[in-house]
Amino acid sequence: MVNGEEIFHTRTERRDAAENRQRILDAALRLFEQNGVEQVSMNQIATEAQIGPGTLYRRYKNKGELCLDLIKDNVVLLFDDMGDYLEKNLNESSTIRFKTVLNLFIRFRENKARLLRGVEDSTSTNSGKPLTMSPIYNKLHHIFLNLFEEIYGAESSKVNNVFRADMLLQALRSDSYLFQREVRGFSPEMILEQIYSVFISNE
């Protein structure tokens, strides 16, 4: 079963540390809503939270980690919803299971677009690791890989399923997804149908 909690390492916090964390998150959210995630610096967040930059950086190495903390509960719910659906609909066709899970992620991306973009941007530029090393990416890749193997078989004759899952997640990245939304003018429903048509076909 897919479990959203397992992608985050939880730790017990002292009361003052928990209060500091909440002050940081509240300040960041205010600034993000006013100015957009991309325009806000870590120093601005520290100033707004009335803490020193060192205190902020001890908790969050970069803005992406902070954005991830802001959407953590939503990420956990997303993966729990995916897991619940897949477990309760084992007898449904694999293509419908794929489309439903894909729709759950697209809805999540729509609701948390700015923060998710902040996570992706900082993961790829600040950590020294590619986005594909992130726990969210790995979890999504595992889910979609399993679904592709249900649909096409573990040994796909034309397209490797690992490659197929990688390409799907590239299409769902913020830069690709927002290009389709903002430049091409596609609605979330249209994107869902287009992605489904591209990735689900008769071999």
Residue boundaries of the structural domains of the chain: 4-199
Report the topology of domain 4-199. Answer: Tetracycline Repressor; domain 2 (1.10.357)
Mean pLDDT of the chain: 88
* CA 79, chain centre distance (Å): 10
Considering only residues 88 and 157, tell me which one the structure prediction assigns the higher pLDDT: 88
Question: What is the per-residue pLDDT across 42-88, written as a single tens digit (0 to 9) for each?
Answer: 999 999 999 999 989 999 999 989 998 999 989 999 999 999 999 99
Gap between the Cα atoms of 130 and 123, Å rounded: 7
pTM for the model: 0.82
Task: Indicate if the pLDDT at residue 166 is higher than 90.
Answer: yes
Gap between the Cα atoms of 32 and 36, Å rounded: 5
How large is the average pLDDT for residues 11-36?
86
Gap between the Cα atoms of 97 and 36, Å rounded: 35
- The pLDDT assigned to 32 comes to 92
Place of tokens 């796909």: 156
- The pLDDT assigned to 120 comes to 82
Write out the two tokens for 190.
């249209």
Gap between the Cα atoms of 12 and 21, Å rounded: 12
**Neighbour count for residue 86 (Cβ, 10 Å):** 19
Gap between the Cα atoms of 177 and 155, Å rounded: 29
Is 173 within 8 Å of 120 (Cβ atoms)? yes
Q: What are phi and psi of 46, to 5 degrees?
A: -60, -45
